Amino acid sequence: MGLFKKFVSQTRKPEGFLGKMMVNGMNGGHAKMADWGISHLKTIAPKEIIDIGCGGGRNAGELMKKYPDARLTAIDYSEVSVQKASVYNEEEIKNGRCVVEHGDVSALTLPEEMFDLATAFETIYFWPGLEKCFSEVVKVLKPGGVFMIVNESDGTDKTSLKYEKIIEGMKCHTVEEIETALIKAGFSKVKSDHHDSKPWITVMAKK
């Protein structure tokens, strides 16, 4: 495997030195897209938030800024990401507002109906079966809770499809595929937004 392929493959599960390099770049590299996604959160005031696939922890930090009265749980199945997110949100962890821990979205071990808001930024490409994983998110959301997915790819853009061929286990889903899986998993209402000039998508689902 060439160095480029080894490096970009770290987007799936950052490990070792290359994984640390990848995570260090995630926070800044995806910031504008993530902020565009967060701007869709206009009508809710969550008290308990879970950020699934938290990466370097920047988006978890932004969510806590937006909701200063909320507590946030950030999970990732990469130990490198857990370490980076813990350092990034060190102050809020000390203040008791944030917990960062290792977790697998395909088998969540968190209490059922605990969270008002769940978020997933640039991560569902690597989830092992959308419907199965979405059903795990349903379980940990309170009735009426919201799940927000923010992706850089709408499943049709050439750049992301090129990386899909390079990175093992990556799947760029279309809005239709995501919406269908959400409904099958048990969400009652789903709505989507596509960026005006980029392939970015935000999908909101209500339990």
Model confidence band, residue 168 (pLDDT cutoffs 50, 70, 90): confident
pLDDT in tens, 75-108: 998 888 899 999 999 999 999 999 999 999 999 9
21 pLDDT higher than 80: no
11 pLDDT higher than 60: no
Three-state secondary structure call for residue 12: coil
Question: Computed from CA positions of residues 134, 135, 136, 142, in that sequence, does the dihedral angle turn out positive or negative?
Answer: positive
CA separation for the pair 48, 194 (Å, rounded): 27
CA separation for the pair 154, 37 (Å, rounded): 13
Task: Please tell me the number of Cα atoms within 13 Å of 146 on its side-chain side.
Answer: 18
Domains of the chain in start order, with CATH, are: 3-206 (3.40.50.150)
Model confidence band, residue 14 (pLDDT cutoffs 50, 70, 90): very low
Which uninterrupted H or E stretch holds 203? strand 201-206
CA separation for the pair 127, 111 (Å, rounded): 20
- Rounded-to-5 percentages of helix, strand, coil across the chain: 45, 20, 35
Q: What is the pLDDT of residue 30?
A: 77
Three-state secondary structure call for residue 169: coil
pTM for this predicted structure? 0.89
- On whether the CB atoms of residues 151 and 158 are closer than 8 A, the answer is no
Least confident of 44-48, 137-141, 160-164: 160-164
Instruction: Spell out the SS3 assignment of 107-154.
Output: HCCCCCCCEEEEEEECCHHHCCCHHHHHHHHHHHEEEEEEEEEEECCC
Q: What is the pLDDT of residue 129?
A: 93
Q: What is the pLDDT of residue 104?
A: 95
Three-state secondary structure call for residue 174: coil
- On whether the CB atoms of residues 78 and 53 are closer than 8 A, the answer is no
